A and B are shown apart, each in its own frame.
Chain A
Amino acid sequence: EAGVVQSPRYKIIEKKQPVAFWCNPISGHNTLYWYLQNLGQGPELLIRYENEEAVDDSQLPKDRFSAERLKGVDSTLKIQPAELGDSAVYLCASSRGLSNTEAFFGQGTRLTVV
């Protein structure tokens, strides 16, 4: 069984440009999470989806960040425009359901904004 797949693995962009990250969760996993991991820090939850509904996006900076999960499967996280401080690793995770099911993490997308 394939794990959580994220692409691209690495992305370098100039500030003020837009960028998008893509996540394909494990088949059958209804819950999807996006995390932000700054250098030297632990991951921080940005948004959680139950199927196609964003049920917790309180930590998502909505002025420049957006996310979608059309059809309740793949998800895209977008930043527009990117700032230097957005340089970080963006992790996606998925689980079968909200409670009592392990979350599996993808390898992440490392974003560098120059």
Chain B
Amino acid sequence: AQSVTQPDIHITVSEGASLELRCNYSYGATPYLFWYVQSPGQGLQLLLKYFSGDTLVQGIKGFEAEFKRSQSSFNLRKPSVHWSDAAEYFCAVSGYGGSQGNLIFGKGTKLSVKP
């Protein structure tokens, strides 16, 4: 069965520092992978997605993610974190073909940003 693991429940970084959030997936076929961000009291916003092609994917708000099939990973990165990036981040895999709405989510990583 498909599953997504986010090993880090909570990460704190200093403003301006680089960020990497880890995501590992379990999927039998070619995965369709996503990163979402959820600010307090808000819905989920799509940051980026990977379907095929270039394994380094650029997203909104300066985020990028790299798909590594050999490691079953899809880690999210940002070179310089801003205080407004504090939120919860969810990695997800499509549970049905290429459906972008039928998603299996990880448990999330909460990001705190120190001034």
Contact = CB atoms under 8 A, between A and B. Distances in A.
Interface stretch (A64-72, A80-88, A94-102): A94-102
A105 B43 contact: yes
Contacts of A104: 43
What is the predominant secondary structure among interface residues of chain B facing chain A?
loop
Given A4-B43, A108-B43, A42 B100 contact: no
A105 B38 CA distance: 10
B46 A102 contact: yes
Contact of B100 (A56, A91, A95, A108): A95
Interface string A44-61: 110010000000100000
Contacts of A33: 101-102
A94 B65 CA distance: 24
A80 B99 CA distance: 30
Interface residues of A, number: 27
Contacts of A41: 107-108
A42 B108 contact: yes
Interface string B37-50: 00001111110010
A99 B97 contact: yes
A92 to B, nearest CB: 9
A10 B62 CA distance: 32
Contacts of B46: 102-103
Given A100-B100, A103-B101, A43 B107 contact: no
Nearest to A42: B105
A28 interface: no
A96 to B, nearest CB: 10
A101 B100 contact: yes
Contact of A43 (B44, B51, B100): B44
Interface of A: 3-4, 31, 33, 40-45, 48, 56, 91, 93-95, 98-108
Interface of B: 4, 41-46, 49, 51, 90, 92, 95-108
The 7 closest A-B pairs by CB, nearest first: A42-B105, A103-B101, A105-B43, A105-B44, A95-B101, A107-B43, A99-B98
